Chains A and B, each alone.
Chain A
Amino acid sequence: MSQTENQYYDEFGFYSPQELTRATRRQPEEGFHTGPEVGEVVPSIALPDQNGHLINVAESLGSNGGVVVFHRSAFW
């Protein structure tokens, strides 16, 4: 793709109206650290939810477990 030469296209062909050098567009190296591996216990998580209630994930799991999603921001 010739668009990759454009400063707004990254190597994966993603377009955004921000320069590639902007902090939020920097790419981690392949093989970057992705936290606890399969078979390891995750750190405990006790944080307030959107209603301000403190949620302890370990105590709020379903009968089979849970899905924990880390995301960048709900806003931007």
Chain B
Amino acid sequence: MTQLVQLQGIKESLEEAGYSVFAISNDPVEILADFASKHDISFPLLSDNDSAVIREFGIMNQLIRPDEGQSMRWYGIPYPGTYYVDTNMVVTDKDFHQHHARRASGSSVLARALGQEIEVHSEAESIDVSGQINVSVGLSEPALQLEVVSQLLIDIEIPEGMHAYASGAPDQFARLSVEVEADGIRIGDVSWPASEPMNTLGIDEEVPVYKGRIRASLPITVTSDVIRLGHDIPETLQVSIAVGFQLCDDYECFLPERIEATLSCALDRLVEPEGLSTYADRVEAIEAETGKQVR
């Protein structure tokens, strides 16, 4: 699964920062051994064969009945999620997604564990566009992966002595905004940094503004729309970004403007599950090979 391969990618950075990483599922050891050797996974893939730990945590998927998908071991799977624990096994943070197919990306797990801001990945495509403001756009991952939530990071540089209006500013000002569009992606809400209050000419109350360099980030996820049957999987996705703003200094305001850019995002090789129908076959093959009862 993509998520485990991404975790392998951040394992070293996590360990350097003093965090070890563990993955837990109800897969039998043999299935995990098979997967680990195929994808070079070196961190522990723990086998909670009877879902005892999953039940202990209280996160067993209750929507699956015991009689469903028995050959696939559906019964006993956890709701997928991540716990961040300190050295006393106390939860310091956690991350569960309501949708079973959605995952946090490797870089967001790393940033969250380390309590750092997500950075633009140096191997990812990035672009700079200049106008009244400088805008640079990049991705948190070298490439987007299906149903993995990455971050689109938009750095905006407002010239010295100028300010742009933030959310909450009066309607007569065009507030800083970001619009993102592309086929086959899902975009989440923009996270803006905190604005600062400012006394503006001609207005009695303080107005929320941004100055200097600020970063907006948006969750970006490739949806299965890109891999519909009968279509080739594209190697890149063109993502259009538009930043709207209005700049003012202490005396006057410029007209509202828009800066547009197109980011070419690489689509990563998908680590596709070997398929629902082949699971039972694979278990049988492993049983024949090892002489062990896997199910």
Contact across chains for A55 and B18 when beta carbons are under 8 A apart:
no
Q: How many A-B residue pairs have CB under 8 A?
A: 245
Contact across chains for A15 and B87 when beta carbons are under 8 A apart:
no
9 A-B pairs whose Cβ atoms sit less than 8 Å apart in the complex: A13-B223, A23-B63, A23-B68, A62-B20, A64-B87, A65-B92, A67-B14, A73-B73, A75-B274
Instruction: Looking at the assembled complex, report how far the CB atom of A23 sits from the nearest CB atom of chain B, in whole angstroms.
Output: 4
Interface size class of B (residues with CB under 8 A): 35 or more
Contact across chains for A76 and B83 when beta carbons are under 8 A apart:
no
Contact across chains for B79 and A28 when beta carbons are under 8 A apart:
yes
Interface residues in A1-33 (C-beta closer than 8 Å to B): 10, 12-18, 23-28, 30, 32-33
Query: B-contacting residues of A (Cβ < 8 Å)?
Result: 10, 12-18, 23-28, 30, 32-45, 47-52, 55, 57-58, 60-76
Contact across chains for B44 and A55 when beta carbons are under 8 A apart:
yes
Instruction: Looking at the assembled complex, report how far the CB atom of A29 sits from the nearest CB atom of chain B, in whole angstroms.
Output: 8
Contacts of A70 in B (CB 8 A): 23-25, 54, 57, 59, 78-83
- Which chain B residue lies CB-closest to A33? B58
- Complex-state Cα separation, A75 to B41, whole angstroms: 14
Given A23-B68, A70-B78, CB of A45 within 8 Å of CB of B46: yes
Query: A-contacting residues of B (Cβ < 8 Å)?
Result: 1, 3-4, 7, 14-15, 17-27, 29, 31-36, 41, 44-48, 53-54, 56-59, 61-65, 68-69, 72-74, 77-94, 96, 98-101, 109, 113, 147, 186, 223-225, 228-229, 273-276, 279, 282
Contacts of B92 in A (CB 8 A): 38, 65
Contact across chains for B1 and A47 when beta carbons are under 8 A apart:
no
Contact across chains for A51 and B33 when beta carbons are under 8 A apart:
yes
Contact across chains for B64 and A69 when beta carbons are under 8 A apart:
no
Choose one: B1, B41, B65, B93; the contact of A50 (CB below 8 Å). B41
Contact across chains for A15 and B225 when beta carbons are under 8 A apart:
yes
Contact across chains for A68 and B85 when beta carbons are under 8 A apart:
yes
Q: Knowing that A45-B53, A55-B22, A73-B273 are A-B contacts, what are 15 other residue pairs whose CB atoms are under 8 Å apart, sorted by A's residue number?
A: A15-B223, A17-B229, A27-B99, A36-B94, A50-B47, A52-B33, A63-B87, A66-B22, A66-B85, A68-B82, A70-B54, A72-B1, A73-B72, A74-B36, A76-B274
Instruction: Looking at the assembled complex, report how far the CB atom of A34 sits from the nearest CB atom of chain B, in whole angstroms.
Output: 4
- Which chain B residue lies CB-closest to A40? B91
- Complex-state Cα separation, A28 to B276, whole angstroms: 21
- Which chain A residue lies CB-closest to B4? A74
Most buried by B among A37, A52, A70: A70
Choose one: A25, A33, A45; the contact of B22 (CB below 8 Å). A45
- Complex-state Cα separation, A73 to B63, whole angstroms: 16
Contact across chains for B1 and A57 when beta carbons are under 8 A apart:
no
- Which chain B residue lies CB-closest to A70? B78
Choose one: A14, A62, A76; the contact of B223 (CB below 8 Å). A14
Contacts of A39 in B (CB 8 A): 90-91
Contact across chains for B99 and A64 when beta carbons are under 8 A apart:
no
